[in-house]
A and B are shown apart, each in its own frame.
Chain A
Amino acid sequence: MVTAWETAASVPDPELPMLTIADLGILRDVREDGGAVTVTITPTYSGCPALGEIAADLRGRLAAAGYREVTVRTELSPPWSAGQITAEGRRKLAAAGIAPPERRGPAPERDGPVPVPLRVRCPRCGSADTRQTARFSGTACKALYRCLACLEPFEHVKEF
């Protein structure tokens, strides 16, 4: 028997399709009440255009699983952060060549107006000799890096 949570958790993120919405940490809650189910999701970024697709996918999969009434709610608080990506999600990102967010302790002291980007390990060769080439990338949640050891460019999910 597949639960409503498992069905909802199987929905892939449209922009990071190697992750499910559960891996990404944006699936907040699934409540069943008889044939009805209410799913709560949260956006990664305010302008995330994927949220509508995710809601449509949730409604489709849950309807196919036999739920007659599916409600998808948005929750804004507490806001999503990259720290909510699960261990499984981090593993899948790295396997797909995307550097997961660094786990960091307390924020480093800033001695200037602009924070220095953290050293990010290359997801292909593991070298820490990498350089940020752009603070933004193809989706809102990523930045662009280049590995100076293997020379490959790669994306990195920002610490946000």
Chain B
Amino acid sequence: MDDDNPYDLLAAADEDHRWAFGTGFADPLAGVGTAIPAGVDAAALAGQCLALGDDALIYSHRLQQWITRAPELEEETALANIALDLLGQARMLLTRAAQAEGRGRDEDRLAFFRDEGEFRNVRLVERADADFAELVGRLLVFSAWRLALMRGLAQAPDPVLAAIAEKSAMELAYHRDYAAGWVIRLGDGTEFSRAKMQAALDTLWPLAAELDLGGEADAFLDTVFAAAALTRPAAPPLATVAGKSGRDGVHTEAMGYILAELQSVARAHPEARW
């Protein structure tokens, strides 16, 4: 160690030293158990956790971009809290994915050192919100869908995924109700706010096709649209590339910009700690 380097000294002062770029505090699943139970297909489990973890990681990053830009302090606090919950879900899911794939990677390797084609998130989460109506519209669709998914996965054969899903569902129910409150307020508001809210849904709908909405999520969205005097859009799905989309690693133009921001510090200083 170089004694003249204050960063080395800082790192040596505490065995709990951390990655400089903000994660790696500790294994978020420490002590939860790394074994993959018999009868669970490890590769399939890894793929499932990676996809759900990527959805949360990328969407959390998009929500964080609203910080200092939200219309009111209360909304900014809400968005920061929701982004933090999703980041926590991403950390646990990526950690579980890394355990299941068994290639010696961890959550940081998966978040910061994969290229665009290796990310498995749906394309809906990549989009940059054009305005507040798009923000709350997308949050409503995303959290209604993810809540239904997580409620189902609370019975998953892998007990770690089941526990993450059970915990996530409690958080997502709160996010969904927050978003629903705003969609109803804007849709059932003035003519101007209703037009903006409807336009936001119409813009987002081609991306929602990838989500396999149905059952509980669809029923909830219909209830909200009815209360908000909004029309469920009928826009056709966003085109795929030879049948491939987000879950296959084929993303929209927006994805490269997110990863550039998300990964640049980690890649510039791959061993940095503080």
Contact = CB atoms under 8 A, between A and B. Distances in A.
Contacts of A55: 26, 30
A87 B220 CA distance: 36
Interface string A112-126: 111100000000000
Contacts of A115: 177
Give the dominant DSSP class at A's interface: loop
Interface string A33-51: 0000000100101111101
Interface string B8-34: 000000001000000001101111100
Contact of A74 (B28, B80, B180, B227): B28
Which bucket holds chain B's interface residue count? 35 or more
Contacts of B162: 77
B30 A112 contact: no
Contacts of A51: 25-26, 28
Interface residues of A, number: 35
Interface stretch (A3-11, A98-106, A130-138): A130-138
B169 to A, nearest CB: 9
Interface string A62-89: 0000000001111111110100000000
Contact of A138 (B31, B77, B85): B77
Given A45-B171, A75-B32, A79-B166, A113 B85 contact: no
Interface stretch (B37-45, B86-94, B101-109, B190-198): B86-94
A13 B30 CA distance: 19
Contacts of A133: 74
Contacts of B16: 52, 56
Contact of B178 (A81, A135, A138): A135
A47 B30 contact: no
B170 interface: yes
Which of A40, A48, A135, A144 has the most CB atoms of chain B within a 10 A radius of its CB? A135
Interface string B66-92: 000000001101101110111111011
A74 B81 contact: no
